[in-house]
Amino acid sequence: MTDLSLRRSGASINSMIEHLRNALQQRQIVRINNPTLKVSAVLVPVFLKNGQYHLLFIQRTEQVKYHKGQISFPGGAYEKKDGAILNTALREAEEEIGLARQDVQVLGELDDALTATSNYVISPFVGLIPYPYNFKPDKWETEELLEVPIKDLLDKNCFSEGTTEQNGQQVETYFYRYQSRTIWGATAKILKQFLEFYAGIASS
């Protein structure tokens, strides 16, 4: 690749991130305000690897209290010491995978999402992170880190949907299949929202 091609490639990459940041910060966020729900937050980590954007997921261990063995974004329950809900996402990412909060460029926030069984409302924050990175997963909480190319998740063959019963009502459920793994539940809801947003920017 020539120097000019490299510069153009770098400009295109930077432009994509700026478009994503601007679009996220200009949108109206849908909040779920319900005092009976437990408040939580996750980080949706975006990074560049081999010229392609990826998302970072974790597979939870079988030891954690909720969502045992599931694939999710790093995150967890709000604590009073956090102050702002964004700090919950950054603290949990630091605790679960060793991602220092100063290494996260927060691009914006997605709509709140509900968990089906554990009574949580989740505030998702999208953040650009450096790569490669010396992650230090917490062995009690994190079984494995998964680096997934966004283009693979955008493949229509990766996605399926159905309905499940929740509190006597039929609720839409989403599934993303990547290699031998399935992403579902609240993580799939957040992922679907992010991918629709990302695809809209990429095509504009």
Q: DSSP letters along 32-86, please?
A: ---TTSEEEEEEEEEEEETTEEEEEEEEE-SSSSSSTT-EE-SEEE--GGG-SHH
Per-residue pLDDT of 119-130, as tens digits, reads 899 999 999 999
Per-residue pLDDT of 179-201, as tens digits, reads 999 999 999 999 999 999 899 88
Q: Which domains are seen in the chain, by residue range?
A: 3-148 (3.90.79.10)
Answer whether 90's CB lies under 8 Å from 83's CB.
no
What pLDDT sits at residue 62? 65
The pLDDT of residue 167 is above 70:
no
